[in-house]
Amino acid sequence: MIVTGGAGGLGSATVRRLHGLGAAVVVFDRATDPAAALADELGDGVLGVGGDVNDDAAVGHAIGAAESLGQLSVVVNVAGGAASAGRLVGRSGEPLDKSGFVDTMAMNAFGTFNVTRLAAAAMAAHPADDDGQRGVVVNTASIAGMEGQVGQLAYAAAKAAILGMTLPMARDLAPLGIRVCAIAPGTMGTPLMEMAPESMKEALVGNIVNPKRMGRPEEFASLVEAIVANDYLNGENIRLDGALRFPPR
Ligand SMILES: NC(=O)c1ccc[n+]([C@@H]2O[C@H](COP(=O)([O-])OP(=O)(O)OC[C@H]3O[C@@H](n4cnc5c(N)ncnc54)[C@H](O)[C@@H]3O)[C@@H](O)[C@H]2O)c1
């Protein structure tokens, strides 16, 4: 399997869980050193590949590395984030900068599209199982793709694009026996988030309904595991948010 963004908070939790269950994993991340360090730490059956999700050659290396470990059948697109934030028209009347919007779309929406198209083509070359199945793609959106907050326009649009890809990807890849789902996390307690000031963490937890805490990266990984294991989950966007609905700000 390939986990993009596998060196980050949610990605590394996914790598650890699925490797613990016996999966061979490629940690693909533009953060080359942390990807290599995680692969070294986990040892057998884990390879670190550095590169950008929009670089076809780098994605090709990741696919080649995965195939060297076994037949590629699982792709988890976790790479993403926000390249910029800001209101559409700032307080001084200036329009929002275009480049941050483009970069945010690139790291989330274009990257997810790019890795999936290349990986699915490689997966299509393998024999299907007795049920006609060749594997599954799990994408990572955000509840911001449904309830974007003030200042989150680019990120919300990029994650909405990922949510919008789920069903047409599942339909396009159905003849190949490849399923596609997306996870839309709410506020997750990644190591980075845990380092935030207490007052900020309290504010973030304030609107979460139940459990009254941030999600655990292991809970994200456990949902990836469930999607991989359940052949009848397909074409669905799944919220993982403790019933959180983002308020306007
Ligand atoms: N943490 C949260 O609360 C939360 C909530 C909703 C959605 N998400 C989404 O979950 C995903 C993971 O979030 P995280 O909190 O683990 O973030 P993170 O920053 O810890 O991890 C993201 C990883 O993706 C990598 N990456 C980014 N752009 C890349 C690119 N172009 N090519 C290759 N690698 C790239 C980064 O190097 C990093 O290792 C992101 O898509 C994020 O938008 C996170």
pLDDT digits (tens, 9 = 90+) for 46-73: 999 999 999 999 999 999 999 999 999 9
CA of 189 to the centre of ligand 1 (A): 13
135 lines ligand 1 (CB under 6 A): no
Ligand 1 centre to CA of 80 (Å) is 4
- φ and ψ at residue 5, rounded to 5 degrees: 65, 25
Among 167, 178, 166, which Cα is nearest to 126's?
Answer: 178
Sign of CA dihedral 202, 192, 17, 235: positive
Whole-angstrom distance, CA of residue 171 vs CA of residue 181:
11
232 catalytic? Reply is: no
Does residue 92 carry a pLDDT above 90?
yes
Q: What percent of the chain has pLDDT over 90?
A: 96
Ligand 1: residue whose CA is nearest its atom 23: 5
Joined together, the tokens standing for residue 150 give 């003030």
What dotted CATH number matches 2-240?
3.40.50.720
Can you tell me whether residue 47 is helix, strand or coil? strand
Q: What is the pLDDT of residue 84?
A: 85
Would you state the pLDDT for residue 218? 98
What is the pTM (predicted TM-score) of this model?
Answer: 0.98
User: Does residue 189 have its Cβ closer than 6 Å to ligand 1?
Assistant: no
**Res 214: pLDDT:** 97
Rounded Cα gap, residues 191 and 70, in angstroms:
31
Calculate mean pLDDT across residues 35-39. Answer: 98
Which 8-state DSSP code applies to residue 145?
G
Catalytic residue among 28, 155, 220, 246: 155
pLDDT recorded at residue 192: 86
**28 pLDDT exceeds 90?**
yes
Q: How far is the CA of 8 from the centre of ligand 1 (A)?
A: 6
52 Cβ closer than 6 Å to some ligand 1 atom? yes
Q: Is 140 helix (H, G, I), strand (E, B) or coil?
A: strand
Instruction: In whole angstroms, give the CA distance from residue 138 to residue 45.
Output: 20
